[in-house]
Copies of this chain bind each other. A is one copy, B any other.
Amino acid sequence: MFETAEVGHKIDKETYAAELPVLRAALLDAQYELLQTGKFPVVLVIAGVDGAGKGETVNALTEWMDPRHIEVHGFGPPSDEEAARPPMWRFWRSLPPSGKTGIFFGSWYTAPILQRVLSDQTESQFDQSLEAINRFERMLADEGALVLKFWFHLSKKAQKKRFEKLEADPATRWRVTKQEWKNFKHYNEFKEVSARALRETNMAHAPWIVVEGEEERYRSLTVGKTLLAALRARLDAAKLPAATPTAPAPMPAIDNRNILDCVDLASTIDKASYETQLEELQGRLALLTRRPGFRKRSLVLAFEGWDAAGKGGAIRRVTGALDARAYDIIAVAAPSDEERRQPYLWRFWRRLPGHGRVTVFDRTWYGRVLVERVEGYCAQSDWLRAYSEINDFEEQLVKAGAILCKFYLHISPEEQLRRFEERQALNFKRFKITEEDWRNRDKWPQYVQAVCDMVDRTSTEIAPWTLVAAESKYLARLQVLQTICDRLEQALD
């Protein structure tokens, strides 16, 4: 992996002086074209060994190009807001919008490599981290991002020499700390672990470029030219590269039976029993969210369902048991323009609760495989890849301590019609019914198919779907509360 970066690459001063102005002008040109077309975001990962010129190269890039449209992110210890969320949250919140460039100086590679070398992480855990990275970068590429990863390499001898040189100069002495020397002792392990990381994550859509770090002119010019070539290729392409080839869309079950048919819509409950049980469940939920153990967890509630299935009512029965300061409800609507310039899941990542908090999503990240699929708002390849992206997202949530409950509120088309008509009659509910609701109704069978596929592909052991029998609003609310209480209890006990 690193052999070609130990051959003593050099660029002489004259060549550099001749090439640099041309490169700068072309980079600037490409940068402005990107900005004006807003076609895609650029994600640059800058990684590698200490002292190999990462900082100098980033500084050179920001000097050559217009720094107003480059966001450089260094990552120290997580802030407390970051620590209360999945580890990838800090990277998601730093993603550049379309048209701009984000430089990740220190990235999602740092923690896995450090943990593998310096703490007791096993090889298989390490491989899992790399797999997760692959899926993340695949998602970025599928969302249109240009992803380039630069690894700055130095031989052991060269690194030692470099540290000694930096230490000798009072102006740069501060750059070599005990930590650098400590890591140096593990040079060989770092090299081996990094090589594995690079090998397993070197993808066509997110390639590693290994840069020999000894000589400044060589490394800057290499990075600049690589970036320029990649930018130009993408800008000049008539359209974005075809998305990942995907499997064909799922088929309906050939016997025409499906999971929604198995939901019992016939049961009912009388009002008195409902009220007794409701009070009891709300009391239980109130106490559960106030348990000390919950202060290190969070609760994420995802609500999907047919129009008029009673999501709002169910949500209100849940929040009615909570302290109003402890929860947020996100009514998912059309994305804002800031959200449109980001990967699909970005608008959900930004709303994740911190520790001790509850976030209720009224409609969710499943919009992509439901309404967007059925209405054709996104390409088939987009919704097909969404299943695994969503599973990744939810896995990260759960791993970070979130308790995630997903509800699909199911009713019959007849009951929906009854409720639509009732809403139109009731003055203060007239806002709740729109033309779109009527249109969606016409596509009932397609939605059934979409829901069944969704449950099929995203009901995982860590984040199962609960299909709620919502023909009776009372029973639906009880089932939702019961599920949340059980899951919380299980998690906190």
Contact = CB atoms under 8 A, between A and B. Distances in A.
Interface stretch (A28-36, A124-132, A161-169, A452-460): A28-36
Contacts of A329: 67-68
A71 interface: yes
Contacts of A315: 67-68
Interface in A113-131: none
A379 interface: no
A337 interface: yes
A338 interface: yes
A279 to B, nearest CB: 12
Interface string A183-207: 0000000000000000000000000
Contacts of A287: 171
Is the contact region of chain A dominated by helix, strand, or loop, or is it mixed?
helix
A415 interface: no
Q: Max chain B CB contacts within 10 Å: which of A68, A290, A362?
A: A68
Interface stretch (A258-266, A270-278, A320-328): A320-328
Interface string A225-246: 0000000000000000000000
A147 interface: no
Interface stretch (A56-64, A208-216, A400-408, A477-485): A56-64
Given A68-B331, A81-B81, A324 B428 contact: no
A336 B73 CA distance: 22
Contacts of A324: 55, 58-59, 61-62, 67, 72, 103, 105
A144 to B, nearest CB: 19
A57 to B, nearest CB: 9
Contact of A74 (B62, B81, B325, B428): B325
A94 to B, nearest CB: 11
A83 to B, nearest CB: 10
A264 B327 CA distance: 58
A419 interface: no
Interface residues of A, number: 52
Interface string A16-33: 000000000110110010
Nearest to A426: B25
A36 B431 contact: yes
Nearest to A319: B67
A69 B105 contact: no
Interface in A322-350: 323-331, 336-338
Given A36-B431, A431-B32, A71 B328 contact: yes
B68 A312 contact: yes
A80 interface: yes
B81 A428 contact: no
A489 interface: no
A79 interface: yes
B338 A428 contact: no
A316 interface: yes
Given A174-B290, A290-B174, A319 B62 contact: yes
B29 A428 contact: yes
A66 interface: yes
A393 B337 CA distance: 27
Nearest to A63: B320
A281 to B, nearest CB: 15
A421 B457 CA distance: 60
Contacts of A327: 72
Interface in A408-431: 427-428, 431
Contacts of A283: 171
Interface in A53-112: 55, 58-59, 61-63, 66-69, 71-74, 79-81, 103, 105
9 contacts: A28-B428, A55-B323, A63-B316, A67-B315, A67-B329, A72-B324, A72-B325, A72-B327, A174-B290
